[in-house]
Amino acid sequence: MPIYKCEKCGKVHRTEDDVCCQSDQLAESKPGGVSANGDGSLSCAPQATTGNEVNRHFPPVLDACCGSRMFWFDHSDPRAVFVDKRAESHTLPDVSSKGGSRELIIAPDVQADFTALPFADATFAHVVFDPPHFERNGARSWVGLKYGTLEGDWQEMLRLGFAECFRVLKPEGTLVFKWCADEIPVSRILALTPERPLYGHKSGKQQKTHWITFIKLNAKNQGQLPRKGTDE
């Protein structure tokens, strides 16, 4: 299922009939949507292109569960499509902030679940996968609101998440997986995917946050790597 990102206003469209920066004009014009300019960029215009034409100009990076985009240098980076199943905002207590609170804003380009991503196979050159990692915090707790929570059959949820992220990743594309092993060892999570991790890095005061890099290869090149050093 193709989606379309307008380089003129930065918004993402899920269908060719969506409208944005020229909404008044587009509302009266069919078909409306996103079109290709002469310079190869995209903008909202009355004349829409086909999905294949638009996808050639699609941003190369996918953040499959962006949350509030905490670790991004540019929270509106045009090279990325930001996806999350939540679209909400909250005021959270934060003693380090002026006034003692901080606004948490989750505003994805595309609201979708990472277990069923609305993108065609092999769409992105790079995927970021930073799913919820807490099981024991309530969904309305400070941590739950900030990071999301694992619910129900979370092993199956993460297995599907890995599968979907690799499905939309291009061959020889890279995936960065982030996991905090405060409650669940990362070795249990890596066992949910047959893909081979390349290398990783631990961060945080207690060295429990893992950043692990994968590359997508052809099936004949796939295999299992030993996972020593990932049990924490």
Residues 116 and 209 in one domain: yes
The residue with greater pLDDT, 15 or 155, is 155
The position carrying tokens 């990472």 is: 114
Q: Is the peptide bond before 31 cis (omega within 30 degrees of 0)?
A: yes
Residues 69 and 83 in one domain: yes
Question: Is residue 228 in a domain?
Answer: no
CATH of the domain at 142: 3.40.50.150
What is the reported pLDDT for 54?
Answer: 36
Please say if the pLDDT value at position 207 is more than 70.
Answer: yes
Residues 83 and 165 in one domain: yes
Question: Is residue 41 in a domain?
Answer: yes
Query: What is the rounded average pLDDT for all residues in the chain?
Result: 75
Question: Is residue 227 in a domain?
Answer: no
- Among 55, 77, 96, where does a domain finish? 55
Question: Is residue 208 in a domain?
Answer: yes
Residues 71 and 47 in one domain: no
Residues 145 and 74 in one domain: yes
Question: Is residue 232 in a domain?
Answer: no
- Among 16, 40, 55, where does a domain finish? 55
What is the reported pLDDT for 136?
Answer: 66
Confidence band, pLDDT 50/70/90 cuts, at residue 58: confident
Please say if the pLDDT value at position 24 is more than 60.
Answer: no
* 152 phi and psi angles, rounded to 5 deg: 60, -140
What is the reported pLDDT for 50?
Answer: 30
What is the reported pLDDT for 199?
Answer: 96
Question: Is residue 230 in a domain?
Answer: no
Domain count, the chain: 2
Confidence band, pLDDT 50/70/90 cuts, at residue 201: confident
Question: Is residue 214 in a domain?
Answer: yes
Range 52-59 average pLDDT? 52
Range 66-77 average pLDDT? 92
What is the reported pLDDT for 91?
Answer: 81
pTM for the whole structure: 0.68
Question: Is residue 229 in a domain?
Answer: no
Residues 155 and 115 in one domain: yes
Residues 82 and 166 in one domain: yes
Residues 189 and 120 in one domain: yes
Residues 84 and 13 in one domain: no
Residues 37 and 123 in one domain: no
Residues 45 and 72 in one domain: no
Residues 65 and 112 in one domain: yes
**What residues make up the domain containing 169?**
61-221
